[in-house]
Amino acid sequence: MPHKALITREIPEKGTNLLENFEIKVLGEGVPERADLLEAVSGASAILSTVTETMDTEVMDAAGEALKVIANMAVGYDNVDVEAATERNIVVTNTPGVLDETTADTAFMLLLAAARRLGEGERMLRAGEWDAWGPKQLVGPDVFGKKLGIVGFGRIGQAVARRAKGFGMDIVYNARSRKEEAENELDARRLDLDDLLRESDFVSVHTPLSEETKHLVGERELSLMGEYSVLVNTSRGPVVDENALADALAERRVFAAGLDVYEEEPKVHSKLLELENVVLAPHIGSASIETRGKMAELAAKNIVAVLRGEEPPNPVN
């Protein structure tokens, strides 16, 4: 009997093709209903999940004894209860590395769009409200030559820094440990978070979501940023306190923000939706054709390795 692999959402063929020797069940294109997921997972040896599904003990129990691997098609795996999986000898894997450049592009796109008020301008133009070029119209802070503070200086944070160097930016960063090689390559300086927020013109957040990083950027931290500063978050929504950010933006204590992730996706804080000075993207950090193919392929490779009894390329437990 072939192993049963449950794929929670339709993924690029590069991934499904690698699993052709298994009995594959794909739940559908959209986010699966929880009840459908719990029913379909019964007897599965592998689950290929995405960030929209919570992989908790209920799912693991519903799968039963056969479950050997949960391969999350994402680098972040805060949707997976890794501790419970480990207790059950279930391997959890993710897809690091293949999405760094694409996600860094998204962060930089949001940084530029927020500073130069692209969303606001496009809304005005589409509403037929653009009457003429204006000397004071839609002006925002320059990006080139400014200071960029990167919170979380790992794969994606460093890829953002490389882009910033092309804009003549000065790089400072915060991470738990010092990154000497990257400091030398990017002429970057490590600062504590408060100093980074005080000194930076732009702040881009790239930590994983953990107990330590929940609301890492909250009301107090936002109060340290300057009135022409811009905050970008492409990490996970709960790393930034959305309510505090909405207040800071509304009161113009922070000039603008660019967000790709939200505290309760797909819900977006109602105050943010009303503000002109925030660019809102629907969690598209890694959404390039090439990268989504690579993520699907890597998630599938992790499954194949575990079910063959081999060490998978990207275990997280």
Q: Figure out which of the listed residues 50, 79, 235, 302 binds ligand NAP, where binding follows CB under 6 A.
A: 235
- CB-based burial, 63-74: b 16+ in 10 Å, e otherwise: beeebbbbbbbb
Q: State the Cα–Cα distance between residues 228 and 239, nearest whole angstrom.
A: 22
By a kind-dependent CB cut-off of 5 to 8 A, residue 218 interacts, out of ligand GLV, ligand NAP, none, with: none
d(CA 310, CA 133) in angstroms, rounded, equals 62
User: Is 70:55 a contact under the CB 8 Å cutoff?
Assistant: yes
Per the annotation, the verdict on 221 as an active-site residue is no
> Which residue in the set 286, 291, 302, 314 belongs to the binding site for ligand GLV (CB under 6 A)?
286
Considering only residues 6, 37, 41, 51, which one is a binding residue for ligand GLV as defined by CB under 6 A? 51
CA distances from 19 to 114, 245, 266 (A): 41, 43, 30
- 283 scored as a contact of ligand NAP (CB under 6 A): yes
Name the amino acid, one letter, at 236.
Answer: R
The closest residue (CB) to ligand NAP is: 154
**Which span (30-38, 79-87, 201-209, 243-251) binds ligand NAP, by CB under 6 A?**
201-209
Closer to ligand GLV by CB, 168 or 282: give it.
282
Positions 103 through 142 that interact with ligand GLV (CB under 6 A): none
- Kindly write out the interface string for residues 249-268 of this chain, putting x where it contacts ligand NAP by CB under 6 A and - elsewhere: -----------xx-------
274 flagged as catalytic: no
Q: For residues 48 and 74, is the Cβ–Cβ distance under 8 A?
A: no
Report, in Å, the least distance between residue 285 CB and ligand GLV.
Answer: 6
Q: How many whole angstroms separate alpha carbon 164 and alpha carbon 102?
A: 15
How many whole angstroms separate alpha carbon 136 and alpha carbon 210? 42
Binding letters toward ligand GLV, positions 69-88, x by CB under 6 A: -----xxx------------
CB of 137 to ligand GLV, least distance (A): 35
Among 39-47, 128-136, 204-212, 272-280, which window interacts with ligand NAP (CB under 6 A)? 204-212
- Residue 4 CA to chain centroid, in angstroms? 29
179 alpha-carbon distance from chain centroid: 21
Long-range contacts of 267-273 (CB under 8 A, 24+ apart): 269/242, 269/243, 271/243, 271/246, 271/247, 272/242, 272/245, 272/246
Q: Kindly state the smallest distance separating residue 90's Cβ from ligand NAP, in Å.
A: 20
What is the residue type of 104? A
Instruction: Determine whether 283 is an active site residue.
Output: yes
How many angstroms separate the most distant Cα atoms in the chain? 71
Minimum CB separation of residue 106 from ligand GLV in Å reads 10
**Which residues are part of the catalytic machinery?**
236, 265, 283
Contact residues: ligand GLV, CB under 6 A: 51, 74-76, 99, 285-286
Under the rule (CB under 6 A), what is the footprint of ligand NAP? 75-76, 96, 99, 103, 151-157, 174-177, 206-209, 212-213, 234-236, 260-261, 283, 285-286
